[in-house]
């Protein structure tokens, strides 16, 4: 009877230790995963390919804005300002900076 009780106690102890380790991993992941993801995003947003892609996309949107009729310009301006909101304006070429400034002057919130 003592042997069975010892075996059950050892199994319960092993399961408890395993649960504590797994629980610790979960809580560590919960704390550090968002920070790790933020660092990955910041690194990605500072890559040359992201920056050039954003500039190309903004040039394409500027061309669409200039080709659009008045009814669509307001919607395109909102879209363009939304896309450029998190992008540092200092990284934009001067002509795009002027275009964004013009859109901001037109769209007063």
Look up the pTM and report it.
0.65
Cα–chain center distance at 9: 48
Identify the DSSP state of 93: -
CB 57 within 8 A of CB 83: yes
The C-alpha atoms of residue 95 and residue 65 are separated, in whole angstroms, by 14
Highest mean pLDDT among 9-13, 14-18, 35-39, 56-60: 56-60
The C-alpha atoms of residue 15 and residue 8 are separated, in whole angstroms, by 10
pLDDT of residue 109: 54
Residue pLDDT, tens place only, 45-103: 888 998 999 999 999 999 999 998 888 888 899 999 999 988 888 888 999 999 999 98
pLDDT of residue 25: 72
């Amino acid at each position: 009877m003592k042997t069975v009780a010892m075996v059950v106690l050892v199994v319960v102890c092993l399961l408890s230790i395993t649960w504590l380790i797994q629980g610790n991993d979960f809580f560590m992941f919960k704390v550090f995963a968002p920070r790790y993801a933020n660092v990955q995003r910041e690194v990605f947003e500072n890559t040359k390919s992201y920056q050039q892609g954003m500039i190309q996309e903004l040039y394409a949107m500027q061309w669409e804005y200039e080709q659009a009729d008045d009814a669509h310009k307001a919607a395109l301006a909102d879209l363009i300002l939304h896309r450029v909101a998190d992008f540092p304006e200092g990284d934009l070429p001067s002509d795009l900076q002027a275009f964004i400034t013009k859109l901001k002057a037109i769209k007063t919130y």
